[in-house]
Amino acid sequence: MRFPTNSKILYSIVGARPQFIKSKPLHRAILSDPYLDSNTTLQEFLIHTNQHSRADMSDAFFKELDLPPPLHTLPQASPNLTPLKHIAFMFAKLKEFCQIQRPDYIVVYGDTNSTLAGALCAHSLKIPLIHIEAGLRSGDLSMPEERNRILTDQLSTLLFCPTPSAYACLKQEQRPGQKIYHSGDVMLDNVGYFAPKAYPPKAPFEPTKKPFIFATLHRAGNIDNKDNLQSILNALECLAQNMPLFLALHPRTQRALTQYGLSFKNVSLLPPLSYLETLYMLTHARLVLTDSGGLQKEACFLETPVLVMRENSEYPELLEMGGAILVGAHADLITSKAQELLTKGQASFANMNHFGKGASALHILQAIKEHACYLGSSG
Find the helix packing angle between 83-100 and 113-125, rounded to 10°.
Answer: 40
CB 302 within 8 A of CB 191: yes
CA distances in angstroms from 179 to 169, 170, 172, 176, 379, listed in the order given:
13, 10, 13, 9, 18
Question: How far apart (Å, rounded) are the C-alpha atoms in residues 154 and 349?
Answer: 32
User: What Rg value do the Cα atoms of the chain yield, rounded?
Assistant: 21
**From 27, 86, 218, 354, active-site residue:** 218
CB 147 within 8 A of CB 170: no
Of 287, 291, 165, nearest in space to 225 by CA? 291
**DSSP annotation string for 207-262:** --SS--EEEEE--HHHHT-HHHHHHHHHHHHHHHTTS-EEEEE-HHHHHHHHHHT-
Tell me whether residue 123 is one of the annotated catalytic residues.
Answer: no
Catalytic residues: 218
